[in-house]
Amino acid sequence: MSRSNIKYILLFIVSVLSQTLVFDNIYFSSYINIFIYILFLLLLPIETNKFVVLGLSFILGLSIDIFNSTPGIHASATVLIGYLRPAILRLYAPREGYEPNKFPSIKNHGLNWFIKYSISIILIHHIFLFFVDAYGFSHFFYTMGKILISSVFSLIFIIIGHLLIMKE
Amino acid sequence: MKNLLNFIIKYAFTLVFILIEILCFVLIFTQNSYHRFSFVNSSNRITATISQQWNSVIEYTKLKSINDSLALENERLMNNLEKYRKYEIPAIEKSGFKYISAKIVSSSVNKYQNYITIDKGKNHGIEPEMGVIGPNGIVGIVVSTSNKYSTILPVINPNSKISVKLEKNNYFGSLSWESQKVNQAFLSEIPGYVSVQKGDIVVTSGFSAIFPDGIPVGSINSYVKNKSTDFYEIIVDLFTDFNNLSYVYVIVNSNRNEQLEMIPESENE
């Protein structure tokens, strides 16, 4: 097993545990739900086989679901972003294409690029997750407010998490 | 056949995605109902153990507030006891309710589907459909148990529905949760001719075999009368503070089976 595989296994465990043990217990307001665990999906190498990304997304979401007693809710949202990630990466690709053997990061692609890339995935994830969790659109404006505010907080903590991991 | 194969190969990624999404939604719709299977839920042994270990680490930071709430609860119970002390009650009728204390292992408050996991389960005599109360009032109902852990459906979950009444005039209503605010719930089915005031106390009705009569639930925050149905729509401030809940009591009703048998008869009356 290569060094980078072990790093990603560690990142997976850290993402799941920090989400379920720390961030799920932080409470400021019912509008703020911080989801940092998708950092794992954001940082997977750009050339990772898309089927592997899809499988990992499902496992990641299901792990969060098992801790939260919400079978399927997180998994359905992470699988969606796993499916759309290749298209989003293509959308934001630099003109000369991505350099080989790189993973999405501030260091490799710049802060602007990373924010654009992360916020797209965070928004898709949060929109899907909150509406599925609410069983539909009956609390539309409340849910939209929750999505927008939570996305901003998730982005901030994902960038902080990303910088902490890069230091290691 | 060849065309079909080509189609599958061309769209394999999308097909796999759709299949996994279908699987997820099957999980959502079969497992999030009131009686859930137990293979993925937080009374699951491994996740509950991890949460419990973590909890024992961070518990120290909460000790002060836990102590304060226990002291307040003691004060309230002692005052209640004092009221009864002067009466000599001849043969106390056995109520059949027993309380088991339990510690919260994990809980959520800011989702729609909120659940609480506690550190007692089947081995301690806890079964689904038992009521759960906190130091200040009602918390929820046990929905699933494993040997050492149980999952509680709290009042602040859209699937929760609890039979309650107004303490001052015994009119019955139904308490549900509309997802807007933690620590606030929605009281319906109180008829429009009843006099209702801000601050009125809401307690459990004792109609179901789950809660004894008169457990505090909350106080009325605001109300409007629905003109078309002539029923009140009431917002209740819950007494239980779900953000700072550490210990709860599970209510065991030893007369429950007898009480359940009585229900069809009383409905016929």
Residue B31 to residue A72, Cβ atoms within 8 A = yes
What pLDDT score does A1 carry?
A: 57
Nearest Cα of chain A lies from the Cα of B100 at a distance, in angstroms, of 23
Q: Cβ of B35 under 8 Å from any chain A Cβ?
A: no
Candidate from B40, B106, B151 with C-beta closest to A71: B40
For chain B, the C-alpha Rg in angstroms (whole number) is 22
Q: Any CB–CB contact under 8 A between B63 and chain A? A: no
Backbone angles phi, psi at A28, to 5 degrees: -105, -45
B14 touches chain A (CB under 8 A): yes
pLDDT confidence of residue B267: 42
pLDDT tens digit sequence for B10-56: 888 899 999 999 998 888 877 655 445 444 555 567 777 777 777 77
Coil, strand or helix: which one is B202?
strand
pLDDT at B43: 59
Q: What is the dihedral of CA A94, A97, A102, A104, to 10 degrees?
A: 30
Q: Which of B25, B42, B50 is opposite residue A69, by nearest beta carbon?
A: B42
How far is the CA of B128 from the CAs of A76, B140, B151, B157, B215, in angstroms?
28, 11, 9, 16, 19
The pLDDT of residue B265 is: 46
- Rounded to the nearest 10 degrees, how much is the dihedral formed by the CA atoms of B132, B45, A131, A54? 180
B244–chain A Cβ distance below 8 A for any pair: no
- B27 interaction partners in chain A (CB closer than 8 Å): 65, 71-72, 75
Return per-residue pLDDT of chain A as tens, 168 residues: 577 888 889 999 999 999 988 888 777 777 888 999 999 999 999 888 889 999 999 999 999 988 887 778 899 999 999 999 999 999 988 888 888 778 888 888 888 999 999 999 999 999 999 888 877 777 788 888 889 999 999 999 999 999 988 776
Q: Which residues of A touch B20 (CB under 8 A)?
A: 54, 58, 75, 79
Structure tokens that stand for A95 in this block: 């003109």
pLDDT digits (tens, 9 = 90+) for B224-269: 888 888 888 899 999 998 888 888 999 988 776 666 665 554 444 3
Radius of gyration of chain A (CA): 15
pLDDT given for residue B42 in this prediction: 56
Owner of token pair 């990303």:
A162
pLDDT at residue B266, as a whole number: 44
pLDDT of residue A61: 93
Tokens found for residue A139:
């609390």
Nearest to A54 among B20, B44, B113 (CB): B20
CA distance B78 to A159: 52
* Contact across the interface for A72 and B36, Cβ inside 8 Å: no
Query: Chain A contact for B34, CB < 8 A?
Result: no
Rounded Cα–Cα distance for residues A55 and A4 (Å): 18
The ipTM is 0.84
**Between residues B65 and B197, the one the model is more confident about:** B197
Length of chain A: 168
- What domains lie within chain A, and their CATH numbers? 3-167 (1.10.1760)
C-alpha distance across the termini of chain B, in Å: 68
Chain A touched by B18 (CB under 8 Å): no
Per-residue three-class SS string for B127-164 = CCCCEEECCCCEEEEEEEECCCCEEEEECCCCCCCEEE
Could you tell me how far CA B153 lies from the centroid of its own chain? 4
Beta carbons of B243 and A27 less than 8 Å apart: yes
Residues 183-242 of B with CB under 8 A from A: none
CA distance B70 to B78: 12
Question: Could you give the C-alpha distances from A121 to A78, A127, B193, in angstroms and in order?
Answer: 10, 10, 53
The count of other CB atoms within 10 Å of the CB of residue A94 is: 10
Distance from CA of A119 to the nearest CA of B (A): 21
| pLDDT the model gives residue B9 | 81
Rounded to the nearest 5 degrees, what angle is found at the Cα of B211, between the Cα atoms of B139 and B251? Answer: 75
Q: Do B111 and A17 touch (CB under 8 A)?
A: no
pLDDT score, position A71: 79
Neighbours of B115 (CB within 10 A): 25
Which chain B residues are Cβ-neighbours of A25 within 8 angstroms?
106
Smallest Cα distance from B10 to chain A, Å: 14
DSSP per position, B207-262? -SSSS-TT-EEEEEEEEEEETTTTEEEEEEEESS-GGG--EEEEEEETTHHHHHHH
The tens digit of pLDDT for each residue in A117-143 reads 999 999 999 999 988 887 777 778 888
Neighbouring C-alpha atoms within 13 Å toward the C-beta of B79? 6
Q: What are phi and psi of B26, to 5 degrees?
A: -60, -45
| B169 backbone dihedrals φ, ψ, rounded to 5° | -130, 10
Give chain B positions within 8 Å (CB) of A73. 24, 28, 32, 113
Predicted local confidence at residue B83, as pLDDT: 76
Average pLDDT, integer, range B191-203: 89
Pick from A4, A40, A5, A22: nearest CA to A121: A40
- Give, for B48, the enclosing helix (H) or strand (E): helix B45-58
Question: Which pLDDT score is estimated for A15?
Answer: 92
CB contact under 8 A, B44 and A27: no
Q: How far is A28 from chain B (nearest CA, A)?
A: 9
Contact A83 B243 (CB under 8 A): no
Question: Which three-class secondary structure string do you get for B68-129?
Answer: HHHHHHHHHHHHHHHHHHCCCCCCCCCCCEEEEEEEEEEECCCCCCCCEEECCCHHHCCCCC
Interface test with B, best of A27, A69, A147 (most B CBs within 10 A): A69
